[in-house]
Amino acid sequence: MPARLIDGTAIGEAMRGELQGEIRDLKRRGVTPGLAAVLVGENPASHTYVRMKGKACDEAGLYHETLRLPAETTEAELLALIERLNADHKIHGILVQLPLPKHINTQRVLHRVDPGKDVDGFHPENVGKVSIGDPTGFRPATPYGVQQLLVRSELEPTGKHAVIVGRSTIVGRPMAALLLQDGPGGNATVTVCHSRTRDIKAVTRQADILIVAIGKPEFVTGDMVKPGAVVIDVGVNRMDDPSLKKGYRLVGDVKFDEVKKVAGAITPVPGGVGPMTITMLLYNTVQAARQWARERDGEG
């Protein structure tokens, strides 16, 4: 029996609907949640992603700005722009679209974003808050979206063995922190695999929940999955396909056609984790606006 499909598009749309009440409440207090996206250079995938974020903000009723800078922008110029956004009360969330040009120090830029506006969750202050379960910290949107997919699909991780393939600071490590926490969407036993893991197949086959974020097209095959496991595919990769008009197709880090015959539930690519990433970015922006309004009004 083929695996149950986990529909990130439908879950994301439902969650955006749930957000509307809080957005209306904030607007009644004179606060329209605002998001600024900073894009440096001409990376086509980055332009597409930022455009999708702007569209999602429009649909949700959020204020947004997209600041496009040429590839030759200096690090000093970019830092100065971030300082301006840090001081702008219309902007509650700032995201710097990655990757940045090689002549710019990415860590220096991300660390300059005000932690209270760091809706990507990359600032060390938010990394620390997420690791200890502080609810005022911003959870990175992709692992936060994966956690919500599990909870809202009634695939609660409590007591399960979750194996994460990939240890990036954007997905793998914060994903482990979220799954370890005591509360809904947590309480899992977590193993993280990476490029130095020995006999990775033996590890992945132990997983009740297998989360794959390694950036390698169709890396996980059917023989790497325990029958009945939940498989979450975070990867998005382009593979050449001359049979299609656009010349390529999108695939994940999981060989979907094989794994769906073994797994109990699986996310598709596209339509799985991707829509949830943008949804959780909206949630983080609203959280940032709420926390700013409370501080403004002396609510603590």
DSSP H or E stretch at residue 26: helix 8-28
Q: List the catalytic residue out of 114, 118, 120, 253.
A: 120
Residues 6 or more apart whose CB falls under 8 angstroms from that of 78 comprise 38, 40, 69, 100, 104, 109
Q: Are 123 and 111 in contact (CB under 8 A)?
A: yes
Q: List the catalytic residue out of 97, 147, 148, 287.
A: 97
| 253 carries an active-site annotation | no
Residues 6 or more apart whose CB falls under 8 angstroms from that of 287 comprise 119, 138
Residue with tokens 């880090």: 253
d(CA 257, CA 3): 10
Residue spans of beta strands (DSSP E) within the chain: 4-5, 34-40, 63-69, 93-96, 161-165, 189-193, 209-212, 230-233, 237-240, 248-251, 265-266
DSSP H or E stretch at residue 53: helix 44-60
Residues linked to residue 232 through DSSP beta bridges, in sequence order: 211
| 257 carries an active-site annotation | no
Neighbours of 270 (CB within 10 A): 14
Q: Looking at the annotation, which residues are catalytic?
A: 53, 97, 120
